[in-house]
Chain A
Amino acid sequence: MSGSVLRTLADPGSISCESLTYSYPGAVEPALSGVTFEVRAGEYVGVVGPNGGGKSTLLRLLNGLLVADSGIVRIAGRDPTAEPFEVRRRVGMLFQNPENGLVAPFVEDDVAFGMENLGVPHEEMHVRVREAIRAVGLSGYERREPHTLSGGEKQRVALAGLLALEPEILLLDEPTSMLDAAGRRDVMDRMRGVRGEKTILHVTHHLGELLDADRVLVLNGGKLVADVSPERLVLDADLLTGNRLVLPPLSRLATGLGLAATKQRTPEELAQEIRESIRKRTAAR
């Protein structure tokens, strides 16, 4: 192993995979095959690709929910197969279905669930629960029952539950795919707000959520087919169509008009750029 891998192995916020391979029981094809990559502490890495390509499988191998058939996984400096409990202390995972991630009959009890599992003392729990609920913008929701919440609110409660454990790493498994646009916005805004120095691995179909990521991994058919910057990704038409990736319409419009694609811009900003471009063209005549 190279020196850089050894360095990252020790880092609590890092993730490292080498030749990771996994097949679901009874499956003909491996769900993941020979996947190798490294994520440094604090990086925001997107994971994209067609459904069934191995993205969710990857996340589950990282936090020990699944055990790899072969290959090496190190997350937060540990092997999730050997020390799942220690890994889950430091790695929080947000799931796709907002309904099935909430275990307790009240919001505050759910946020406390993880801390209860880790044996956090009673007095400390109350403070941290309140803090976490405030961090996701749900102060006042403590005694609400989960089934009365909207999808976006449920995901924020789940997020609060993760944040209360102060993890170094967050694994996000399509957390917004079952939400409407408003819910998606709420959850992603909060995510950005509380991100801090955490390492994030974010599986999503909404490329718009990854425009300011550090890197994007593309998984297709269980293989890692690309590890690129968002800028490279949006400009590579073959990479996009080959992996059934679709940019948000405003970005596609920008690319189609020859303007920078990865800028997070509002429609007004795009209009301004178009006006500028027209003015320049008219001036050049």
Chain B
Amino acid sequence: MRLELRDIRHIYSPGAPFEIEALRGVSLAVEPGEVLGILGGTGSGKSTLVQHMNLLLEPTSGDVLVDGADAATLKKSELRRRVGLVFQFPEAALFAPTVAEDVAFAPRRLGLDEDEVERRVTESLKLLGAEHLKDRSPFALSGGEQRRVAIAGVLAMGPEVLVLDEPASGLDPAAREDLLRLIRTLHNTGTSVVLVSHDTDEVAEVADRICVLEKGEVRAIGSPSEVFYTNPEFAPATVQAVAALGEAAWNAGRPVRFDETLRALAQLMEG
């Protein structure tokens, strides 16, 4: 599906002395099957933005469109099944006695029969490399394991778009790598992924397109090389190094991913 946010404004506590305009007219679209990276730090409005994608929050003005139709006309449960949202530190919402029960929560709420529910639970856990945790209590797992279970719980709904808000937050580098691998796998199965993160390295590794969010506004949007080379201040350090080479960079192409960058620079240095 194509998910579009058109000129979204969101004001918290409108009219009150402490009202905050978290989003000031944000427009972007998630194309079918793409990985969209949204780069933003604290105060950028990213968490407010993602909650509009499944209408957990309603815009003060602006529209949310699903395949051209107003998302507000869809049944909430339908929308939230198709757009799966994983919050930051999602393990805080684990509650069931076993991992399998927890992951089954969402598919059960969809009214699926038990066989289908079980199939989905197994599949999602497998995708997250957490099948062996099936019968464990979610509260007895390590942080990284809990994170996997929480994400599996949302994937079990079979969403067309998966929105991940800072999914690698607090994870060690190895777990982070696993997560990026998951995103690539999902991408290959046709699921669209929205990766919201402050970490430029992370986003650069997997994004097809990048949107930079700052203080509630879109500062740049486009392909990674467009965004990073036109605005190096938003780019990962490795890309900044290439950009700093000036004209010599032209011979290096405009690499964005780490491997590409290393290869391009090595070639440049070989002569």
Contacts and interface: CB of A to CB of B under 8 A. Distances in A.
A touching B, CB within 8 angstroms = yes
Nearest to B261: A253
Contact of B241 (A180, A253, A277): A253
A209 to B, nearest CB: 13
Nearest to B42: A150
A221 interface: no
Which secondary structure dominates chain B's binding surface?
Answer: helix
Interface in A264-281: 267-268, 270-272, 274-275, 277-278, 281
Which secondary structure dominates chain A's binding surface?
Answer: helix
Nearest to B235: A267
Interface in B223-271: 236-238, 240-245, 248, 258, 261-262, 265-266, 268-269, 271
Contacts of A278: 248, 268-269, 271
A52 B142 contact: yes
A269 to B, nearest CB: 9
Contacts, number: 90
B169 to A, nearest CB: 7
A82 interface: no
A245 B173 contact: yes
A150 B169 CA distance: 15
Category for how many chain B residues contact A: 20 to 34
A205 interface: yes
B170 interface: yes
Contact of A253 (B199, B248, B258): B258
Interface residues of A, number: 34
Nearest to B236: A249
A257 B173 contact: no
B244 A50 contact: no
B41 interface: yes
A249 B42 contact: no
Given A277-B269, A278-B269, 6 more contacts: A182-B198, A249-B237, A253-B265, A267-B244, A275-B245, A278-B271
Interface of B: 41-42, 142-144, 166, 169-170, 172-175, 177, 198-199, 201, 236-238, 240-245, 248, 258, 261-262, 265-266, 268-269, 271
